[in-house]
Structure 1
């Protein structure tokens, strides 16, 4: 089993909080993780119809059988349990009594905030990071193969070809999770919307344009974006709030948490197709952005990533906000350093009065420039303390 970086944080939280909730997309490894970390606890999946019916119809009787604690998988399926869990947790000071998992952040967070606030620690578990997948390996992974395959555990643990796994994953997600969150009558239109969205990976979220293309109104698009975001399919990178005397773009940029899913939605099934595809640069950018997100979520830290763009078209792909300092990052899919890589960071440094920046690219040469802008291989950056 591939060791998960989040393990250390989950164990730490279980020693100080009465309960720990692990959220993340379906098939990201939540069940495998909690079973390995808490082998002494009884495991129950609330996806099981009989177990779920018992928990819904007689929550007090159900919980009476697990007073010493348990792992409740996909617990968002039984919101009736949360108020009763509160009663049990309040009656004891025992830490780590119940371990909860859920594949819908909105439903789980909503129930926790209503009943279990202050009693439960929440940690997001995303698909494998490259640091996990290639831990201890000296060989550099092929970024194009990673983009194509994605990083969902079943593709690596079970050896399922991505061209077989992703369409089935998508079908399961739409049929089960989407229906659970919102009663969408035309799932075919929703799937078409996802394909349109995949074609906008790394771009600004334009609700009006998506509505026209999909054939529904903007309120529906906004609702569907919320579904995809809460179920960890897409990540919205918000614009940074500092404007440096320039009018800023205020719309977020869209990224899918997994590039393999994007490739499947776009019909990219081979490396040759990927190398020639007009979205290859956006897909490489998506890979790097999501790796940065995983660096934070795996250690239980808040995500401190933004982007910056003004209305004249100047843009910085990522701004890492460390509280007292900002690090602008440009992401380039090319393997050869050229002067075009530096233009946006030089412009941003003039506006901000800083002398810093990072070019993250697919090449191997690394440089430290006198203007404060460093050049770094993308994998080296992911493995660094940045």
Structure 2
């Protein structure tokens, strides 16, 4: 098991959300070895607590001072009322894991009204992988923990997608038409790293626009996709209006995105690299509690920056390319951004070996940047 960057609270209950396969169960069992562990995927336990959530107390030894783990808590949202009662009455500490907060909120639950913190577990980061980090492998299969363990990561990822379609979507009753949802997933994969055009996807899938909007909401609620808004704070130019879309992991994107004889590898390789940077930025920002919000920047004249992180620690702009050489046209978007936001820090990440600087743009090799992300994101601008 890889050591994870997430740091749990010492004395307060918390939710741990994350997509399936990110290692939530493995982590909680390793981190809280003496805890009472209740897995709602176990049919007998599930049926028992579904019939009467107050039975939860009988599974907790009297006088327990250790933690109580409830795995897949979203399967019985009504349990939160009982968890709330047990926290108030006995000061019990709970770890509540789930792959979605959608059902909890839909049932009107208040996520314990401040009595529990909320954490996220992401796929592995390059820092967590350490010497095992293999850029080529990550760009092909992503960084879900099993991808770095399984002998056949491609087969694992195909099973992962099938599991989501058949288990998560169907069992949660999120859509009645799995065929249409499957077609939507494939169509959506062509929008990876691109500005969303929901009307075009609806036409491609032969369904109504509202259905596609609901499908995107399902992906977000299950934490397997993100919409990244355009950065338009105090904008000096006319900006793009729609968000960009990312499936949360490179491997998931590669598995869903169909490839045929007319598809060129470079069409997906660049998107995969951009996705890997996004998932690393997202995880590091979360684990280190840096407080950035993630955006992209694109003007109506198509000047673009892949990612803009904005928060109390400043504005940080990132552009990433696989190329081994840098030319001035590649830096055009970053330099235009710096003209509009001169207090920002700008980083161009590329496949070469030399660290350089072009004006106010730091040029960093791919081999170095993932190890340095915590420092880069935590650094206040020096201007």
Are residue 74 (structure 1) and residue 66 (structure 2) matched? no
**Structure 1 residue aligned with 2:31:** 37
Are residue 348 (structure 1) and residue 302 (structure 2) matched? no
**Structure 1 residue aligned with 2:380:** none
Contact 2:323–2:350, Cα closer than 8 Å, also in 1: yes
Give the whole-Å Cα distance in 1 for the aligned partners of 2:263 and 2:269.
Answer: 6
Q: 2:113 aligns with which of 108, 114, 117?
A: 117
**Structure 2 residue aligned with 1:144:** 136
**Structure 1 residue aligned with 2:284:** 295
Are residue 100 (structure 1) and residue 96 (structure 2) matched? yes
SS in 1 for 2:54: helix
Contact 1:112–1:120, Cα closer than 8 Å, also in 2: no
Identify if the C-alpha distance between structure 1 residues 237 and 355 changes in structure 2 by more than 3 Å, giving closer, same or farther.
closer
Give the whole-Å Cα distance in 1 for the aligned partners of 2:192 and 2:235.
Answer: 27
Q: 2:230 aligns with which of 236, 239, 244?
A: 239
Identify if the C-alpha distance between structure 1 residues 115 and 319 changes in structure 2 by more than 3 Å, giving closer, same or farther.
closer
Give the whole-Å Cα distance in 2 for the aligned partners of 1:334 and 1:274.
Answer: 20
Identify if the C-alpha distance between structure 1 residues 379 and 116 changes in structure 2 by more than 3 Å, giving closer, same or farther.
farther
Counterparts of residues 163-178 of structure 1 (less than 5 Å): 163-178=154-169
- 1:289-316 CA distances to partner (integer Å, 9 max, x unpaired)? 1111010222345452111112121111
**Structure 2 residue aligned with 1:326:** 315
Q: 1:278 aligns with which of 267, 276, 289?
A: 267
Q: What is the deviation of 1:145? A: 2.4
Give the whole-Å Cα distance in 1 for the aligned partners of 2:126 and 2:25.
Answer: 20
Which shifted more, 74-83 or 101-110?
A: 101-110
**What residue ranges of structure 2 are gaps of 5+ in the alignment?**
377-383
Contact 1:293–1:303, Cα closer than 8 Å, also in 2: no
SS in 2 for 1:330: strand
Q: What is the deviation of 1:113? A: 5.3
Which shifted more, 24-33 or 191-200?
A: 191-200
Give the whole-Å Cα distance in 2 for the aligned partners of 1:106 and 1:150.
Answer: 25
Counterparts of residues 1-386 of structure 1 (less than 5 Å): 1-6=1-6, 9-10=7-8, 13=9, 15-17=10-12, 19-66=13-60, 68=64, 69-93=67-91, 97-108=93-104, 114=110, 116-133=112-129, 135=130, 137=131, 141-157=133-149, 159-267=150-258, 276-323=265-312, 325-354=314-343, 356-369=345-358, 371-384=359-372, 385-386=375-376
What is the TM-score with the length of structure 2 in the denominator? 0.90
Q: What is the deviation of 1:161? A: 1.3
Contact 2:314–2:344, Cα closer than 8 Å, also in 1: no
Q: What is the deviation of 1:64? A: 2.8
Contact 2:354–2:365, Cα closer than 8 Å, also in 1: yes
Give the whole-Å Cα distance in 1 for the aligned partners of 2:360 and 2:319.
Answer: 14
Identify if the C-alpha distance between structure 1 residues 115 and 356 changes in structure 2 by more than 3 Å, giving closer, same or farther.
closer
Which shifted more, 36-45 or 259-268?
A: 259-268
**Structure 1 residue aligned with 2:379:** none
Which shifted more, 204-213 or 58-67?
A: 58-67
Q: What is the deviation of 1:263? A: 1.1
Contact 1:306–1:320, Cα closer than 8 Å, also in 2: yes
Give the whole-Å Cα distance in 2 for the aligned partners of 1:163 and 1:347.
Answer: 40
Equivalenced residue count is 370
Contact 1:356–1:373, Cα closer than 8 Å, also in 2: yes
- 1:249-274 CA distances to partner (integer Å, 9 max, x unpaired)? 231111111111111112469xx999
- 1:344-379 CA distances to partner (integer Å, 9 max, x unpaired)? 11112222344741101222211123x211101234
**What residue ranges of structure 1 are gaps of 5+ in the alignment?**
none
Identify if the C-alpha distance between structure 1 residues 303 and 43 changes in structure 2 by more than 3 Å, giving closer, same or farther.
farther
SS in 1 for 2:114: coil
